[in-house]
Amino acid sequence: MSKIYYFSSTRSEPLVSPRELKQQLPATIAQTHFIEQTRQQIIQILNGTDPRLLLIMGPCSIHDLKSAEQYAIKVKELATEVSDTFLVVMRVYFEKPRTSFGWKGMMYDPHLNGSHDMNTGLRWMRELLLTLSDLQVPAAAEILDPVSAHYFGDLLSWGCIGARTSSSQIHRQTASGLPMPVAFKNTTEGNVETAINGVLTAAKPHSYIGINEVGCAALIHTEGNPNCHIVLRGGEKAPNYDVSSIRQALNLLRKAQLPLQLIVDCSHDNSRGVYNHQPVVLRSVIDQIVDHNKSIRGVILESHLHAGNQPLSPNPKELEYAVSLTDSCMDWNTTEEAVLEAALQLKKKRKNNTKDSLQDDGAKETALV
């Protein structure tokens, strides 16, 4: 047969189907209940019926299961300590978009050696997400490949369409059928309207070509996702976490007749790529919330057990333990200190609001007498 009928590929290999993997690694009733409950809590935070802030924190990418589980245990301890001010969700990013070229994530190359054993990558992904559910640590991930969502979407509490794909029709269609709240990031150039258009599009029903649970090509029909929102992650020319930028983003949301709700990414271009600048960004965002900005519903931090990042070594055994392979991250101590400081600020705000409310009620009663 003529080569014009084929893609330019050297070979193809069979992958386990989504249904097969879920049958091999099923979620228990308790795990499913926890994930459903967390999704609902996130929706309530986004809608403003839960006064807490959503805190999405964790490594830029997962490349080692042991360090990820160790990080998750620390997340659980911190989440318990700040549970009255934050709902903490762990970043568990298995896929990484590359601006040019590089390691694309555990899903694609779990052994870090270019073998591209994706069947193992998919299995490790699901195993880790199930472990996190047992620990009662909610998981967040970027939906980069629309096919991959079939393998682990049932175990996520929050999803994200990244800056490089927020304008993609394919990703907007995918988001419209996902069962969890999904964020659209502004583009790498800093365009917020693209993210807003993503939210508008994903809220609508769609029909498109995809795969079904047995891995066959199928016509997918979605109902639309009413729980999409935007993330401000800064742009190439300037950050957008400041008061003026957030006001502009809210005006665009208002113009689009969307709820006035957004999340601020304290990393990426908002930190100008400097990982230890994230606490400064977080402090600024919390100050705005304390100053009565009720539209900021969450923040994102890139954090790992150890600070910085490292290149992928030809010998994976030479890699430093728990140091990011992709973007630089804060270490755990810095992360914990920043989160506890933010929680204290939010507690003071709540206490002052309660005090002001009681004074107002007392004044009303005096006036009635």
Residue range 239-257, pLDDT digits in tens? 999 999 999 999 999 999 9
pLDDT of residue 62: 98
CATH topology of domain 33-308+319-350: TIM Barrel (3.20.20)
- Give the amino acid at 61: S
pLDDT of residue 369: 43
Q: Decide: 138 and 52 in contact? Cβ < 8 Å.
A: no
State yes or no: pLDDT of 356 exceeds 70: no
State yes or no: pLDDT of 357 exceeds 60: no
Q: What is the mean pLDDT of the chain?
A: 94
- Residue 268 has, within 13 A of its CA and on its CB side, a CA count of 24
Looking only at the bridges linking them, the beta strands covering 217-221 and 207-211 are antiparallel
What average pLDDT does the segment 75-86 reach?
99
pLDDT of residue 349: 83
Query: Which of 53-67, 88-102, 193-207 is least confident?
Result: 88-102
Q: Residue 73, exposed/middle/buried by CB under 10 A (0-12, 13-18, 19+)?
A: exposed
Share of the chain above pLDDT 70, in %: 92
Q: Give kind and range of the element (H or E) at residue 197.
A: helix 192-202
Burial 320-330 (b: 16+ CB within 10 A, else e): eebbbbbbbbb
pLDDT of residue 88: 99
E strands, the chain, in order: 53-58, 86-91, 139-142, 158-161, 182-185, 207-211, 217-221, 228-232, 262-265, 296-302
Q: Decide: 263 and 183 in contact? Cβ < 8 Å.
A: yes
Tell me how many degrees the CA angle 33-347-80 measures, rounded to the nearest 5.
35
**Cα distance between residue 227 and residue 187, in whole Å:** 20
Which residues, other chains included, contact 321 with Cβ-Cβ below 8 Å and sequence gap of 6+? Answer: 64, 67, 305, 306
The per-residue DSSP string of 67-115 comes to: HHHHHHHHHHHHHHHTTTTEEEEEE-------SSSS---TTT-TTSSS-
- Give the amino acid at 180: M
Residue 239: how many other CB atoms lie within 10 Å: 22
| 101-158 per-position pLDDT tens digit | 789 999 999 999 999 999 999 999 999 999 999 999 999 999 999 999 999 999 999 9
| 46-63 per-position pLDDT tens digit | 999 999 999 999 999 999
pTM across the whole model = 0.94
Q: How far is CA 75 from CA 57, 91, 176, 283, in A?
A: 8, 10, 30, 20
Phi, psi of 21 (to 5 degrees): -65, -40
Note the residue count of the chain: 369
What average pLDDT does the segment 354-365 reach?
54
Confidence of residue 353 (pLDDT cuts 50, 70, 90): confident
E strands, 319-365, in order: none
Q: Please report where in the chains the tokens 């409950």 appear, as a residue.
A: 37
| 282-335 per-position pLDDT tens digit | 999 999 999 999 999 999 999 999 999 999 999 999 999 999 999 999 999 999
- Helices 192-202 & 243-255 angle (0-180, nearest 10): 40
Residue 277: how many other CB atoms lie within 10 Å: 16
| 214-224 per-position pLDDT tens digit | 999 999 999 99
